[in-house]
Chains A and B, each alone.
Chain A
């Protein structure tokens, strides 16, 4: 199963980036093999507006089934929801730890955004 984790760096030992739309990287990980692809999110991170929406569409495109991140705003949440990506907020630690927590069923999925949008 593929999941997405926001990350401050480009590998599994990097720390989870608490931001979603403007995260440095979004890592797409196969939870079975731990094979991963680090997506450089700098275009969205520096975008004028709508970063969460664009990042959400990107995660959907990669067919990730879940997203592990710190905070997810309303527009990003709406986009991820449309892409059938489940969202777990308040995730901390390294990407690897986050993936393990997900596999152990220790993350809770949100049914709404957990932060306000930024204008």
Chain B
């Protein structure tokens, strides 16, 4: 079972839900932090990191002695990662998506692969909760390869909780694709609603069962609820805008740990997810 936790808008509480859900379940569960531009699940779960694995992407290395400046590599690259000006070949590694097209089209065999480190994976655990987190190197922009690497650690017989990045762009799709259920987290504000709509549109295209958690319930207005009703989007949990919850978060602690009455609510959330995800098959 793979549950991706997404939101559209940033800062709505994806990590709060992901970490607390993992902790409430306690075993047979792993948390995969795919918000690789700013991973923060570890701050709340506080796992012991036991292993760090670099994430490597191949980029083109051009042998200028063999190059005849025919521009075939430049023409095939839709990301503009290669430029040939006169008799100078420029490569822009940060734009390269490692497709290998330049290598395939070069008639002179002048293009070969070279490794470039994009970031790393951190692995560890907190008791029986397994933890995997991706971290993009500062200055890098290619998040999807790291997300895909993180997700290779998903285990079939486990509950895999994927903490997705905000937004609806490639890194988010990479974090949602192939999931059994997508849990959307929003706040009942106009910003929350606007970005929730975008996220719902993306999830519909992927065709994955989904449900909603409303965080900071009590602020804003009822528009999110009206939208959910109209869209037949089940509201699985509401977390009130509560000082004690905010304080717990600000100290980097888990709500389920500080306020044990929440454990039941998170387990109930999981049971609803299990049921909704199961309806598909």
Interchain CB contact under 8 A, A53 and B80: yes
Interchain CB contact under 8 A, A51 and B80: yes
Contact (A60, B86) CB under 8 Å given A50-B95, A53-B92, A119-B141: yes
Chain A residue with minimal CB distance to B92? A75
B45 close to A (CB within 8 Å): no
B84 close to A (CB within 8 Å): yes
A54 close to B (CB within 8 Å): yes
Interchain CB contact under 8 A, A82 and B95: no
* A82 cross-chain contacts in B, Cβ below 8 A: 83, 85-86, 88, 90
Interface residues on A, range: 10 to 19
B79 close to A (CB within 8 Å): yes
B226 close to A (CB within 8 Å): no
A78 close to B (CB within 8 Å): yes
Interchain CB contact under 8 A, B85 and A61: yes
- Complex Cα gap A78–B90 (Å): 8
We find that the number of chain B residues with CB closer than 8 angstroms to chain A is: 15
A47 close to B (CB within 8 Å): yes
B132 close to A (CB within 8 Å): no
Chain A, interface SS category: helix
How far in angstroms is the closest Cβ of chain A from B281? Answer: 36
- Complex Cα gap A18–B23 (Å): 52
B78 close to A (CB within 8 Å): yes
How far in angstroms is the closest Cβ of chain B from A60? Answer: 4
B176 close to A (CB within 8 Å): no
Interchain CB contact under 8 A, A57 and B85: yes
Q: Which of B74, B77, B81, B90 has the most CB of A within 10 A?
A: B90
* A78 cross-chain contacts in B, Cβ below 8 A: 90, 92
Write out, one digit per residue, whether chain B residues 64-100 have a CB within 8 A of any chain A CB (1) or not (0).
Answer: 0000000000100111110111101010100100000
The answer, among A47, A48, A49, A56, for a CB contact under 8 Å with B83, is A56
A79 close to B (CB within 8 Å): yes
* A47 cross-chain contacts in B, Cβ below 8 A: 78, 80
Q: Which of A47, A61, A75, A84 has the most CB of B within 10 A?
A: A75
Chain A residue with minimal CB distance to B84? A57
Interchain CB contact under 8 A, B85 and A50: no
Contact (A48, B78) CB under 8 Å given A53-B92, A75-B92, A79-B90: yes
The answer, among B80, B84, B88, for a CB contact under 8 Å with A50, is B80
Enumerate chain B interface residues (CB-CB to A < 8 A): 74, 77-81, 83-86, 88, 90, 92, 95, 141
Smallest CB-CB A-B distances: 3 pairs: A50-B80, A83-B85, A60-B85
